[in-house]
Structure 1
């Protein structure tokens, strides 16, 4: 599948898939969107001192990078598990400019994140450990994984990958979410909110990133 590197509104780059007419991030700003949806509404919102985080859709690794940078800043030991069915070629990764736009430290972290072996838990930095899983979430068995405090749901949109947004997928994630776990996604569709609510999450609509009116955040009730 062809992927083209394009520049977004905040100067950061993303990938565009002509076949799907879909990009990996908002054209209004890749870093801006990821910071707003996943870092601010998710990672910074949840107060667990040693969070276990699960990301659906590793993609370009931007969400992982921003979380790693923030984990070091907060000195907050973070374990990050991410699943991706179609890992990107390193040649495409090398054309992305996230680290360069953030800091020298971020650029080094970005390289470590992408060169880390798939299927092995790797200590990327003092406060950031990650496991990259190459698999299809729909068929994936969570039996051997830690339960999670935070979920970044960053699959392609419901109109592009409808099977990823089905109730069965949300149920699967809910079952491996700890009490008071937080689920964040850029989507604000009413049907997605209802499905997540029916799984058991307490749902709220939040202001969205530039170019998007709203996003969703769910919280699993405490035991």
Structure 2
């Protein structure tokens, strides 16, 4: 099922989309770019580049959405010349016509957006030399994969919109998907979400968030 969305410009000039069914934006209205950069790139990807310097990096995204996190990851992979194997899942993907209206390539001076959204589902695609993408359409609860990941970007809609995605069973599955030392990052720092992560065996770290967000979370699967 394609998402029913409308686009809006956030405070830093980058687009987000508002899901009309859930009534929630995909990114912070205070700045889509600055949120994704802090939560997923700085705390997730760049930390993993340092922690796992000798291997291709495997990244899983819960909620492909606008493709912003994937685009920023592809950009950093090129800058650092590190190979990233990227997988994402989305139960309500954006229509390609909607995705073409996003301003990310113009905003960042990149040429990734159409490749990310127009790549076929359930098939690994080489977006460029350093970035391959596999998109899965469906619910994460039903995802069946033997792949394991260094980083998980947990970017589901807020618990008020999709409470089922923040339950202990989902974080137990995320913990199983992580390699030893792997990290899960998310914008949501609610106390019960932290408890659910800990119950799944993850070590929870609180970090300073982006603008208008005091805390964000990085959860680590200990070696």
Shorter-chain-normalised TM-score: which range?
over 0.9
SS in 2 for 1:92: helix
Q: CA deviation at 1:207?
A: 0.6
Q: CA deviation at 1:197?
A: 1.1
Matches of 1:82 and 1:100 in 2, distance apart? 23
Matches of 2:18 and 2:117 in 1, distance apart? 19
Q: Which runs of 5+ in 1 are unaligned?
A: none
Q: CA deviation at 1:17?
A: 2.8
Q: Root-mean-square deviation (CA), in Å?
A: 1.1
Partner of 2:165: 164
SS in 1 for 2:36: helix
Partner of 1:112: 115
Matches of 1:194 and 1:162 in 2, distance apart? 14
SS in 2 for 1:170: helix
Q: Which runs of 5+ in 2 are unaligned?
A: none
Report the TM-score when normalising by structure 2. Answer: 0.94
Deviations 1:136-160 (A, max 9, x none): 1122222xx3111100000000111
SS in 1 for 2:140: coil
Partner of 1:125: 128
Partner of 1:25: 27
SS in 2 for 1:40: helix
Matches of 1:57 and 1:93 in 2, distance apart? 15
Report the TM-score when normalising by structure 1. Answer: 0.94
Call closer, same or farther: CA 1:13–1:89 in 2, change over 3 Å: same
1:136 aligned to 135, 139, 142, which one? Answer: 139
Q: CA deviation at 1:2?
A: 3.4
Matches of 1:29 and 1:167 in 2, distance apart? 29
